[in-house]
Amino acid sequence: MRNGNYYDEGYGDTAGWSAFMAGALIGAGVALLFAPQPGSELRGLLRNYANRAKDDLMDKGQEAWDTAVERGREYYDGGEEVIRDAGRSAREFAKQGQEAVKDAGRSAKDFAKQTQDVVRESGRSAL
């Protein structure tokens, strides 16, 4: 229930269809019971109506199944793409990390060399 309204956007079509079918079945049953037909003819009409209703429900069920499968495929494909993007980002991050480590190693070597040069220079000037 949203804002005092019993209509839910996700189930509105299904609930409307279910209510329609229930009303149609009840209305048809009452109309047939009061119709001036013999019992065997009435049973035949009811059987035909039930078969049509069953076929309609089967068709709607198949449509719902097809929609669910299609949405499932879309979600799966979307998930695959997200995983591929995450993999690319992780590889790029790892590559940048490797480059940063190499740069830090070079900087450390340069610093050590400069420190050794300074130490040598100060040792020479002390003599």
Question: 3-state secondary structure string, the chain?
Answer: CECCECCCCCCHHHHHHHHHHHHHHHHHHHHHHCCCCCHHHHHHHHHHHHHHHHHHHHHHHHHHHHHHHHHHHHHHHHHHHHHHHHHHHHHHHHHHHHHHHHHHHHHHHHHHHHHHHHHHHHHHHHC
| Domain residue ranges of the chain, discontinuous segments joined by + | 12-126
5-49 pLDDT, tens digit each = 554 455 556 777 788 888 888 887 777 677 676 777 777 877 888
pLDDT at position 25, please?
82
Its pTM stands at 0.40
86-106 pLDDT, tens digit each = 999 999 999 998 998 988 889
